[in-house]
Structure 1
Amino acid sequence: MPGTVSGVRVSTRFTPDLRARLRESAETTALTGAPDDEALKELRASGLLATAVPAEYGGAGGDAREVNRIVEELATVNPSVSIIAFQHFAVSARIAEWGTDEQKATLLPLLADGTCLAASAWSEPGAGAAKQKLSSTGTRRPDGTWVLDGAKSFTTGASVADLYLVLVQTEKPEDEARRVYGATGQTFFLVTADNPGLVPDLSLDLAGMRGSATGFVTLRQCVVAATDRLGPEGHAPEIIAGVRESGATLGAVAVGTAQAAFDLVVDHAERRGLLERPTVRHRLADLATRLESARALVERAGARTSAAPGMTTLHSKLYASTVAEEICLDVARMLGSAGYVTSSRLNRLLADARAVALMGPTNDLARELVAVTWQS
């Protein structure tokens, strides 16, 4: 049965030991910039990765609301691991929705029990945030197999994932002025990490989300079977659009990160006896109100109760990521010199909060996706 931590319903498998281990890992990876394999091993064993997998395939059968709650709770202790989990949930949900019977029967149980960790490889140099000018290609061979070639950038989970959802161009795109995200002729493929044509590279040195194993993935004559295609050939934009409609949102990562910063300043105020001052209490109340408003919008996105759930998902990402950065900056002002030292946890949280705005869809692209609905 679900329990409650800080007012957020979470799985009882999110144990105090796991929380402590992930928090410790966040501090370590902030220094090294490398993923923590042992922490990820514990995440795999926790059962949390089953959240988005349907119950008939051994999963928890959680909806977007539950996914957002788990992602938020992870982000309060380790935003990098939260991002890795979010991508795993996203791929799991796409397979559950678009996969063939064979793909679902084979992959979903492995995604549920933590044997298989999933990642998305969509972005690439020069393609832009809208993924409209992909250079990576998929070419069908006479025997029905496909050869994937190209390079992917900013792939979260590179080198630690066992399965990648890869976006490539399989047909020449049509000229579509109104399309905002993706292009015709794009197709998704599921590529396992042991495929010799897939080569991860963690040479990126990120300012935030340093433990997220975000890097490059190169596709070099990467041969995959026809059965590895996810969804109809050339219809990847439809799958991408469905991601927003699901209600799962990166805003949950932002809310968890903001919660961690807020907890930090409350602890600081308590230890320094500052809660005796009305001005301090009122500033904290204002921060808490903004945090709760972002959480409420994320919750609404997950509940999918609005007339346009896809728009609510975009709004939740935009608002929560903006609020998270603002809260971190306000906390820095309240901490004063205590937050100015390099070793302060707040500096990592601020960099992580800023990173969410750059994750797909980036905030600028999300604004455009919202704005295009007003054009005739």
Structure 2
Amino acid sequence: MPADRLLPSPEAGELIDLVRTIGEKEIEPRVVDDEAKARFPREVFAILGEAGLLALPYPEEFGGGGQPYEVYLQALEEIAYRSASVAVGVSVHSLSCFPLAYHGTDDQRAALLPRLLSGTLLGAYCLSEPHAGSDPAAMTTAARPDPDGGYRLSGTKAWVTHGGAADFYTVFARTSEDRSGGISCFLVDAGTAGMDVHPPERKMGLTASPTTQIGFDAAPVPADRLIGTEGNGLRIALAALDAGRLGIAAAAVGLAQRALDDAVAYAKERQAFGKAIIDHQGLGFLLADMAAAVESARATTLAAARRRDAGLPAGKAASIAKLVATDAVMKVTEDAVQVFGGAGYTKDYPVERYMREAKIMQIFEGTNQIQRLVISRHLARG
């Protein structure tokens, strides 16, 4: 059933209705086949782009939707209700646009941002490396000055969502040996000479979303593709991740809501000992706990979004939202499999896929152990 939402305006309600309609007509009919065949649904992203749904929280003057995060995240949740892979892709695209939108020059934004936000181009975010995931300051990918101007980019990025499918890559690379102050941000076009897309990772979930390593071998990057100033890249990356964590939290809530709804529907139909299994207290209480987890995760995520929209510090709130929502979706999807019993352990029902998809949400955009570290540091600072 549709989530019971409190939205800030009738226009926001119309936007959510549009997202729900596109989800029902364009995403739902193909998601099972796309996941089974590890097929990236680029056509769906084109449809979302044409509807203005790939850039909802960005300024309208550059082709964005001009929506507050409170609305954007609920739209993202509706997409995740139909496909976690697509929802994560929308969140990653928005994340890849963040550095340019908030740290680019006026000329860079005017020249590049409309194309990125229009939905005709799809973005990817390249921060992690094979040996530098939770510790991005340990990255070794380097951008060296090119004698002809610009930079030459060399190194390997890992866990790149949309690797090989994206049209542009937001890449973080070292421009000096300073551990945290020597990292810079670049916008790199797909197909750049010296750029090599590795084969997709073989993942347990989100199989319709390609994840690859990206290698750079003296790949040329023009000087005007440096975003912000040299050495400011890590601060840009971490600020972007605060926004990205809210996107993943919303995707987790949407997936958890779907798992809950499927479990409730099955429990109403399945009979045991002469009555629907939902009427047995043991199972009814399990479903009640699942519902409480979904509502709590949604409330926590939207509370963080509203802080961000109000211009208040939201870093701690974003980490709390990501932690709470992704731990919740893992528990809710696991319990959904339990509700289905033996049938839930088969591929005849999608709840086993939901559980596989949920696991990665506790890992990417900063593992939940890292979220606890971030939260504890905020507490220590008072």
The answer to whether TM tops 0.5 is: yes
1:139 corresponds in structure 2 to 144
Cα drift, residue 339 of structure 1: 0.3
Q: Please, which of 345, 353, 360 is the counterpart of residue 358 of structure 2?
A: 353
Question: What is the aligned length?
Answer: 365
Counterpart residue identity of residue 289, structure 2? D
2:254 corresponds in structure 1 to 256
> Which runs of 5 or more structure 2 residues have no equivalent in the other structure?
6-12, 271-275
1:287 corresponds in structure 2 to 290
2:320 corresponds in structure 1 to 315
Alignment partner of 1:265 is 2:268: no
Alignment partner of 1:114 is 2:111: no
Cα drift, residue 375 of structure 1: 4.6
The farther-off stretch of 315-324 and 278-287 is 278-287
- How far apart are the structure 2 equivalents of 1:221 and 1:241? 26
- SS where residue 220 of structure 2 aligns? strand
- SS where residue 223 of structure 1 aligns? strand
Counterpart residue identity of residue 195, structure 2? L
Alignment partner of 1:57 is 2:62: yes
- SS where residue 132 of structure 1 aligns? helix
- How far apart are the structure 2 equivalents of 1:295 and 1:212? 24
Cα drift, residue 337 of structure 1: 1.4
Could you list the runs of 4 or more consecutive aligned residues of structure 1 that deviate by over 6 angstroms after TM superposition? none
Q: Please, which of 10, 25, 45 is the counterpart of residue 40 of structure 1?
A: 45
The superposition leaves residues 117-167 of structure 1 with CA deviations (integer Å, 9 ceiling, x where unpaired) of: 111011111113121211211001233210101111110111221111001
TM-score when normalising by structure 2: 0.89
Cα drift, residue 306 of structure 1: 9.8
Alignment partner of 1:333 is 2:338: yes
Cα drift, residue 17 of structure 1: 4.5
Alignment partner of 1:227 is 2:224: yes
Counterpart residue identity of residue 220, structure 1? D
1:177 corresponds in structure 2 to none
Cα drift, residue 307 of structure 1: 6.3
Cα drift, residue 279 of structure 1: 4.3
Equivalent residue runs for 1:60-75 within 5 Å:
60-75=65-80
CA RMSD of aligned residues (A): 2.2
2:203 corresponds in structure 1 to 206
Alignment partner of 1:82 is 2:79: no
Contact between 1:124 and 1:154, CA under 8 Å: does it hold in 2? yes
Contact between 1:119 and 1:158, CA under 8 Å: does it hold in 2? yes
Cα drift, residue 209 of structure 1: 1.2
TM-score when normalising by structure 1: 0.90
- How far apart are the structure 2 equivalents of 1:248 and 1:319? 11
- How far apart are the structure 2 equivalents of 1:165 and 1:17? 28
Query: Aligned pair in 2 of structure 1 residues 109, 132: CA closer, same or farther (>3 Å)?
Result: same
- SS where residue 232 of structure 1 aligns? coil
